[in-house]
C-alpha cells in the first residue's frame, strides 16, 4: 500500500504542478487551415475490410498485449474466424458507435530508465492498450499523417 501511495503521489505532483495555472491560451495562428482540395470527409471515412486487415497484419505480431491479454499475434493467427467481428467493431467506431470500456482500457507499466532505479523519477510509465484500440489509432493516424505538414508550422 505504501508503494502505491508513494507512486501516485510522485506522479500526481508532476501532472498537477503549480504551473498549470499559468498556461497561456494556445496561439492558433501557427496552425494553418487545410486547403480546400483536402477531402475532409475522407479523414473520418469508415475503413473497408481491406484497410482494417492491412492494419492488423501491418503491426508487429510481437507487440505487447494489453489488459485483455490478447496480442496482434493472436489476432493475426485467428483472423479467419475473427475478421467479421473485428471489422464490424472498427467500422462501428468510425460510424459514430460507442466504444466499450474494454476497447479503451489500458494498463500502465513502469519501465526503469536505468539499471538500478532508486526513485520514481528513475521510471518511465507506458500505457499498454488493447488491440482494437491500437487498430483504430493506427487507422486514424494513417488518415491524418499526410495532412500534418499542411497544418503544422515548422516551429
What percent of the chain has pLDDT above 90?
37
The alpha carbon of 114 is separated from its chain's Cα centroid by a whole number of angstroms, namely 26
- The confidence score (pLDDT) of residue 58 equals 94
Tell me how far CA of residue 7 lies from CA of 19, 83, 105, in angstroms: 21, 40, 20
Tell me how far CA of residue 29 lies from CA of 25, 136, 151, in angstroms: 12, 30, 11
How confident is the model over 13-62, as pLDDT tens digits? Answer: 877 765 556 677 888 777 777 788 887 777 778 999 999 999 999 998 88
- The confidence score (pLDDT) of residue 104 equals 83
Amino acid at each position: 500500500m505504501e508503494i502505491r501511495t508513494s507512486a501516485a503521489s510522485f506522479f500526481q505532483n508532476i501532472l498537477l504542478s503549480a504551473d498549470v495555472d499559468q498556461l497561456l491560451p494556445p496561439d492558433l495562428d501557427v496552425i494553418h487551415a487545410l486547403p480546400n482540395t483536402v477531402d475532409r470527409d475522407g479523414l473520418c471515412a469508415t475503413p473497408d475490410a481491406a484497410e482494417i486487415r492491412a492494419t492488423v497484419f501491418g503491426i508487429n505480431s510481437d507487440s505487447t498485449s494489453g489488459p485483455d491479454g490478447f496480442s496482434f499475434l493472436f489476432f493475426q493467427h485467428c483472423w479467419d474466424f475473427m475478421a467479421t467481428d473485428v471489422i464490424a467493431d472498427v467500422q462501428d467506431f468510425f460510424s459514430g458507435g460507442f466504444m466499450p470500456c474494454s476497447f479503451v482500457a489500458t494498463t500502465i507499466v513502469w519501465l526503469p530508465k536505468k539499471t538500478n532505479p532508486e526513485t520514481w523519477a528513475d521510471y518511465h510509465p507506458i500505457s499498454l492498450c488493447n488491440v482494437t484500440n491500437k487498430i483504430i489509432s493506427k487507422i486514424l493516424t494513417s488518415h491524418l499523417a499526410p495532412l500534418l505538414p499542411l497544418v503544422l508550422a515548422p516551429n
